[in-house]
């Protein structure tokens, strides 16, 4: 198998990960051609997972250099994708949040994207800073997001994170949110793997030392749930690397390592991933850095020497 036993290289932490079309369009936009990202988002069509991921990465790019977004907005002020990107950038600005400008931008994005959950999700993600006071607002936004798209991964991801004990919930609430999302999601969806994230969060809180975390993940009930989630993900037809494909593979590989099972499957997953780490944080739950954890799991799976 190609890639086996190669030396460890520095992980590629670009959040665009394996979406080479996104990388290329982003570079062209930064060079002055905003039409490249316009075409990129249009090409995603009704693929909400891919569209959401691309918009999130582009929003981070616009936060650093907004000139291409300003040019796109001037040329196409009613473009739905522009409205989402504008809401993203304003929500990152304290003055815009305090003045209500960001909230108005989110409402406009939601109006221009009436069947898309993404505008609600970007608003939900800003509520983590004041979650106890905003719990009702978070629940309302989540309800509307899931009305628009019942299996929207980013919406369910935000819900699981908000419900975890590290933020504003409990272990029971977190697992309930993760398992409900996974049960309702179609095979192959990254949402079927949300219980794995719940286990990572539980271990981070209760058994953060690596040896203790491995003991927890070796429990029969935890292993059984990992196996069930992995099987439902593999039962899907689309195992692409774009969208949340890299995230899914990292979660599965880390769960396999911690539970000491399915080494061959983990090897296949990590060979497919290559050096793409992106902004996947979960390795950092159990090692000093995500890169250190990524390399440890690669060595266990015999992907690198």
Higher pLDDT, 279 or 100: 279
Contacting residues for 65 by C-beta, under 8 A, at least 6 apart: 30
Give the pLDDT confidence of 69-101 residue by residue, as tens digits: 999 999 999 999 999 999 999 887 776 666 678
Q: What pLDDT is attached to residue 92?
A: 76
Q: What pLDDT is attached to residue 122?
A: 92
Give residue 48's pLDDT band: very low, low, confident or very high (50, 70, 90): very high
Using CA atoms, how far apart are residues 289 and 3, in angstroms rounded to an integer? 23
E-state strands within 2-153: none
25: nearest Cα among 13, 12, 43:
43
- Give the residue-averaged pLDDT of 11-38: 98
Tokens of 263: 């080494």
Domains along the chain? 1-18+187-305 (no CATH), 19-149 (1.25.40)
Q: What pLDDT is attached to residue 95?
A: 62
Give the pLDDT confidence of 206-261 residue by residue, as tens digits: 999 999 999 999 999 999 999 999 999 999 988 999 999 999 999 999 999 999 99
- The answer to whether residue 1 scores a pLDDT higher than 60 is no
**Torsion-angle region of 291 (φ positive above 0: left; ψ -120 to 50: alpha; else: beta):** alpha
- The answer to whether residue 5 scores a pLDDT higher than 50 is no
């Amino acid at each position: 198998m190609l890639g086996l036993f190669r030396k460890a290289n520095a992980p590629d932490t670009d959040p665009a990960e394996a979406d080479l079309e996104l990388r290329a369009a982003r570079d062209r936009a930064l060079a002055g051609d905003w039409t490249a990202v316009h075409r990129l988002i249009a090409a995603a069509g009704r693929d909400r997972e891919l569209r959401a991921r691309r918009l999130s990465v582009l929003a981070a790019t616009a936060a650093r250099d907004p000139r291409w977004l300003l040019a796109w907005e001037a040329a196409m002020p009613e473009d739905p994708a522009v409205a989402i990107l504008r809401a993203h950038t304003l929500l990152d600005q304290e003055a815009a949040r305090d003045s209500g400008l960001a909230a108005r931008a989110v409402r406009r994005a939601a109006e221009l994207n009436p069947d898309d959950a993404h505008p609600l999700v970007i608003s939900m993600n800003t509520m983590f800073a004041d979650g106890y006071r905003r719990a009702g607002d978070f629940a309302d936004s989540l309800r509307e997001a899931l009305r628009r798209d019942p299996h929207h991964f980013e919406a369910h991801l935000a819900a699981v994170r908000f419900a975890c004990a590290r933020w504003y919930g409990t272990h029971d609430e977190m697992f309930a949110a993760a398992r409900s999302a996974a049960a309702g999601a179609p095979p192959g969806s990254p949402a079927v793997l949300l219980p794995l994230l719940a286990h990572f969060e539980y271990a981070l809180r209760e058994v953060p030392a690596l040896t203790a975390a491995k003991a927890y993940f070796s429990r029969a009930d935890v292993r059984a749930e990992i196996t069930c989630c992995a099987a439902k993900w593999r039962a899907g037809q689309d195992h692409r690397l774009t969208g949340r494909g890299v995230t899914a593979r990292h979660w599965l590989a880390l769960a396999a390592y911690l539970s000491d099972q399915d080494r061959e499957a983990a090897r296949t997953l990590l060979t497919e991933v290559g050096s793409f780490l992106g902004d996947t944080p979960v390795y950092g739950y159990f090692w000093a850095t995500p890169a250190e954890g990524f390399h440890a799991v690669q060595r266990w799976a015999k992907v690198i020497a």
